[in-house]
Amino acid sequence: MRALPGRPVYLATAEALDEEMAERIAHHRARRGSEWIEREVPLDLVQALIETDGGGARLVDCLTLWLSNLLHSKRDWSQAISELADTLSSQRSPVVMVTNEVGLGIVPDNAMARAYRDAAGIMNQTMADIAAEVEFVVAGLPIKLK
Catalytic residue among 28, 29, 32, 117: 28
pLDDT in tens, 51-76: 999 999 999 999 999 999 999 999 99
pLDDT in tens, 23-35: 998 998 888 888 8
Catalytic residue list contains 28:
yes
Smallest CA-to-CA distance from 65 within 88, 37, 85, 42 is with 42
Going by the DSSP 8-state scheme, the letter that residue 62 receives in this structure is -
pLDDT at 2: 62
